[in-house]
Structures are given as structure tokens and as C-alpha cells.
Chains A and B, each alone.
Chain A
């Protein structure tokens, strides 16, 4: 069966690109888009796929990661999907990719100018858990009133002694909009700040997209006396020995023996000797 290039019809792709242009013009600001039915269920990356479909061209090289890995089900099936409906080259190497679609991670290898990060987003509204009314959160964004989010941080420090948000850490983009960085670990948030790559975010079920243009300020929320301090693994990678990467924790036996290995498989391979 023949599909249009990149599965979506040209008009749908255009509509998404138009929204993306606006999103780039207003960094961190959520925009609605006409999210289509995709050949996989909501929650599996339909937002990210539609964004990738809208921007991908014949000369692009695509990398897809899920939790940092190129070889998990979600990553493999999305990569194969695009290989089939576009015929573009795919890669697992961060440095070779022009488009990187991701779920839950930013590659350890620094991004470069010209690269585009496409994030799969389950819940684009950072205030969702604190203010369930969409009409109200829109007003709060319009007014730049984010004391609600600071309230949550305040309560975290009070209860746990620190801001106990491990992933999807709320960030301010360009000192204006509060943004969900998607469920990437807090560890990855600093990589967003002043990144040379274009970063775009798609939420298929919620039908929202947003963007962070290259070299934008992305600053995690913090108090003056409780600065942003993400947790880091206690041990180097058991495979490549890296001290600096983000690790997955693997429990090896019933006694709780554990091992830490890089979550970014490409990075881990580069560092193995």
C-alpha cells in the first residue's frame, strides 16, 4: 500500500508546520493543532510522530530514542515506520542525525546547530496537576502568574527538604512561559538551556505543540536558597565507566544487588573501549 510521503497528507503537514512556526516565534507557549489519528495509540508518541512527519524531508537522517535507547520497542517501531513511509536514512548515532525524536531523554552527546529534537509529550500543561481548568491555566500563562508552581516547590521543600521532582521538572522559557520539558529527567534539563538545536514538542492526545528555538534561555524553577539540584547516580556506568551520563538502575538479584548503566545506548557504545 502506498502512503503519502511521511504518512500524513500534505495539508495536515502544512497545518502543523504553520503552528510550529508560531510556536518558534513564541518560545514555550502552547498552541493547539489538529492532531490526527495515527496508526498507533495515544500515549505511544502520536504527537512526536506528527511533528516529525510534518518537518521531515528526503535528505533528513532520523534517530529515534525511547528512554535513551535506540533498541526499545517504541523506538524501533517508530524508526521503522518512518523508514517505510519516507524512505529516509535512519541512524542510532546522535552526531549523524538531523532529526531526533525522543521519549524521556536528551542524548548525552551535545546537540549541534541544524539538528532538531522532537519530544513526545504526554501532558503539555505544567500546571495541570495544580489547576485542572484549562481556561484558568491559559489565563495564568497569559498573566505570567506561576506562583502556583512555586507553591508546589515550596511544599516539596517543606515536606521532603528538597524539590523532589525527578522528571518533567518545570522550566521557564525565555523568562516568560512556564513549560513542561516533557518527562525527561531533571538531569537533562540543563541541556535544554542555550541549546544550538531547535527543540519542538508534540502532545497528540492533548492536541498541543510548543517549541524552544535554538539558543533560548531554559531555566528550571528554584528558590534563591534552594537552587536547582538534580539527583545523579551514585556509581559510574557498569558497561562504559562513564561518570557523567544519566544511568538506569538495574536490580540484579533478590538481594537487591544493583548496577548502573548508561540510559543513552549510543553514548555508551561510543565510550566503550
Chain B
């Protein structure tokens, strides 16, 4: 174990260590102090992780293979991890005062977030079937628990259960896929598998291997919430506590995309029939259409965000398709950029939703936000801004993200896809703007008393606001970072 290895797995070590520490804190320190202590610890942990990630990104130029090829620390993986940790950080800040309303022991909550982040990070840098599987499960199980962390809420329970059952179900298929791939190649490492699949000697088991790959893809598609495996998304997002939904919608999705990307680019050449491309194309189109259209008729904002998240997944898939057209040198900057922007926008939107809910009532439906813009001007402003960005109104980061994706699609001649993407994006403007309109509808909901907004909400909202604005104007900065 030399210093390079240590450096490479530093984020993992930090997250594990701090996660465990927080659990201990929760066990040994009494309630009030515990919450604050746990919070500070978790915050420190995430920040330390971010620092480590950044330093690795800046210092290393070559890819770092660790543990005999089980982990690969490269720029792509680090970039994804940074986005994830950023999202986790924001969610943490957001959750500070709010946690005890949904769960008695704040420490458990924080440690779960840390462990989930751990799984996600490991996922982005995994290079081997086994590491990938374990990381995936670490992340997923933590998130299953998080979804149901509010034990008193029926919806939360239901959400957790559905997520777990369906998640495990799709994991089973994933495992089957791994089994077949292993059976076909005898390898577990991604690189080795690719070589084995391509080599002539393996011919009889070729189709078995490809079959396995398809099943593995099924697992991925489930996790990112794309058609036709997206059914869990609306229910789970709606039922889980808002903070957790924010976490799921952003970080889990990003991590899933990270591993999807790595898998795709490693195995893509093994597929000679072009099946993968066409299957992905169909999936992308259906996802974009389904997500946007279903969102139109929702009256619950969380559910709406869930469906719109499905739509965004579709856009990212489009970006992936564009990158795939050039497998030798894939340009994944639109993907990374969009994920970053999407994370910020979504967390921001949730931050405002959470900030607006007080007195134990969660803000969920259109009726709940009616007139909010008048009672709390700043909140209304932020919310409108985030939804504008989600809708892709020009001069926001959301617009830039979509712009780059469509530009990439067009430059790779995926004209039909781009057109469908743009059309569905137009549809999305309707339901996003509907929210903004409701914000400023005259009749005020009586439930709002004037209250002072807590600093953490404000901080989180403001930070994301600034970043979104900034990125909207200077997308190049984002690009330089993510190269």
C-alpha cells in the first residue's frame, strides 16, 4: 500500500471513516448536541472528500489503476464524483434543521447520506464487475433506507418498499447479466472482459456474453429511471422526504450515469450488430416523451419533478448517444455539464420547496405554493429562477446545458433525435412555467405566516442560485473544469 494508492482511495477512506464516526456520535452523545456535532462532522467529511477529489483531478494526468484493476481513478470518474459530492454537500446543508422533523436520530440520517455518497463515489471509479456491484448495492441500500427514513409517514414507507423491491428485482437481472458475462469470458475486470469478448477464441460464448451485457444494461436503465423501467420513479420520489428526493434525483442519477458511461464505452465495440445503438435510441426517445408528457397533468410538485427528472434523463441519454457516435474519442463534456447543472437546479428547486414548508406541513401541491411569491419575495424569486433554468429559458445554466446537448446531437447528425428533444423541451416549458405562475397568483394561501428563513436554506439556495447564474453566463468555466 503505497502513497499513491492511499491517495487514490482517500475519498473512500474519508467517507467511510466519517460515516462510522457519525454513527458513533449518535450512539454516545445526547440528542441536542448530537445533532449539531453530527452535522459538523458530516460537513467536514464531505468537504474533505471534495478537497481530495479536486486535488486528484488537478495533480494526476494519467489514469490510476488500483488493486489490480479493480478501481480506476481517471478524470471522468473524478469529475462525476465531484458533481456527486457537491450535490451531497448541498443536501447536507439543506437538511440541518429539517432532519429532526422527519427522523429522530439525525446522526443516522447523516451517516446514511455519507455511506450513500461512498457507494456513489466508488461506483464512479469502479473498473471491475465485483467492485461495481458492491458499490452499487452500498449506494442503493443506503438510499432505500433514506427513502423510508420518516417512519411515521405512510407514503415514505411505501416509497422505500417499492424502491427496495423493484431495485432488488432489477439488481437480480443485473446479476444474471454479470453471471452470463463471467460465464462467457471468465473475467471480472471491464477491460479484460472487453478483450475477451472481442477475441476470436471466445466465439461460442459470444452471444451469451452480449446477452449478459444487455441484462446489465437493464439494471443501469432502471437506476437512471429511463423508459421502460421508470415506473418506480414517480412513486418513490413523491413518497420520500423532500431532502431525500433531492438527493436521489441528483446524486443517484449522476452515479448511475457514471457507471453507465463507463460500461458503455468499454463494451460498446463488442457489439457488432448495432443493436445497442438502436435500442438506446428508442429508449431515449420514449423516455423524453414519457417524462415530459406525464409531467403535464401532475398536481403534486414532487411528482412533477420526478417525471421531469425522467425527461432530463432522456436528454442526458441523448447526449450519450451523441458521444457514442465517436467511440474512439467520446466527448462527454455536454453530459458532465448537464449533470452538474441539473444537480444544482434540482437541489435549488427542492431547497426552496423545503424552505417554504413550515409547521410540519410539507409543500407539495400546486395549491400549497399559491401566492408564495408574494409572501416571501426572495424565495419566490429563487424558485422562479430555478424553474426557469429547468425549463431551459435562455441565459440560465439550464439553457446552456440543453444547448450544448442539442448542438452535440446535431453535429453528430442525430437530427431526428434533436428535434424530438427540442419539441419535448418546449412541452416542458409549460409545466415549469405553470409552477411559476402559481407562485404569483393573487389569492394567498392562508397557511403562510411571516417567518424568518433559516440560514441553511438561504445559504444553500443562494449558493446554487449564484452558481446557476454564473454557469449560465460563462459556460466555458464549467467546461475547463470538467475537461
Chains A and B are bound partners: no
Chain B residues packing against A (C-beta within 8 Å): none
Could you list which residues of chain A lie within 8 angstroms of chain B, going by C-beta atoms? none
